[in-house]
Amino acid sequence: MEYFDLYSEEGHYLNKVAMRGQSLKPGEYFLVVHVWIETSDGKYLIQQRNKKTDPVPYQWAVVSGIPNHQEAPLEAAIRETREELGLGLLDEELSKMARIVTSHKGYNTITHVYRAKKDVRPDELSFDPKEVRDVQLATHEEIVKMVEENRFWDYRELLNCEEYFDMLKERK
């Protein structure tokens, strides 16, 4: 069984844990991280998930995960990227794009979205086959098309955040 820490909407630790899949009470949230890895030519490293237990099994997505007990979101982003893709990132390579608070149907999350600018080639990665089936590079437009074709996780719907994919167009 997997447990995760619970936080207030403001991000304060509540000294409570919940089991994965458990409905949360109003005012209880768990943290999630997303990591968008952008190459110098404006493409993003995406992965085809390989877990039946994912919210949307076997679709394409970005690196994502839940921080371990008392793990900061930035630390979780680095760990998840290493675990899922075998790719090491440094703190200074990640910039925060957004903090999205979502609350619907007992699924209360605070999602920290990061971007890393790094030139990577999918064939150089040693991804975890338990979590990832395949990796590839895709443009913003290709990702949006994959979402429309129901082949990529629709974070707009999952997080109730209509402008989610617009963040990718905002280059820093």
Residue 44, in any domain of the structure: yes
Report the pLDDT averaged over residues 43-59. Answer: 87
Residue 167, in any domain of the structure: no
pLDDT on residue 92? 96
Residue by residue, DSSP assigns 32-67 as: EEEEEEE-TTS-EEEEEE--TTSSSTT-EE-EEE-P
Q: Which domain holds residue 143?
A: 3-156
pLDDT on residue 91? 94
Q: Which H/E stretch holds residue 123?
A: none
114-142 pLDDT per residue, tens: 999 999 999 999 988 888 999 999 999 99
The amino acid that residue 164 corresponds to is Y
Percent of the chain with pLDDT over 90: 75
Residue 114, in any domain of the structure: yes
pLDDT on residue 10? 95
150-167 pLDDT per residue, tens: 999 999 998 989 999 998
Residue 119, in any domain of the structure: yes
Residue 170, in any domain of the structure: no
**Tokens matching residue 133:** 């089936």
Task: Using pLDDT thresholds of 50, 70 and 90, give the confidence band for residue 171.
Answer: low
| CA–CA gap between residue 153 and residue 155 (Å, rounded) | 6
CA 140 to chain centre: 16
What 8-state DSSP symbol labels residue 22? P
Phi, psi of 91 (to 5 degrees): -50, -45
Residue showing tokens 């999205």: 100
Residue 161, in any domain of the structure: no
| CA–CA gap between residue 97 and residue 95 (Å, rounded) | 6
Number of separate domains in the chain: 1
Residue 166, in any domain of the structure: no
Residue 168, in any domain of the structure: no
| CA–CA gap between residue 143 and residue 140 (Å, rounded) | 5
Q: What is the mean pLDDT of the chain?
A: 92
CA 46 to chain centre: 11
Read off the CATH number of the domain in which 135 is found. 3.90.79.10
Say how many C-beta atoms besides its own lie within 10 A of residue 159's C-beta.
Answer: 21
pLDDT on residue 106? 63
pLDDT on residue 121? 93
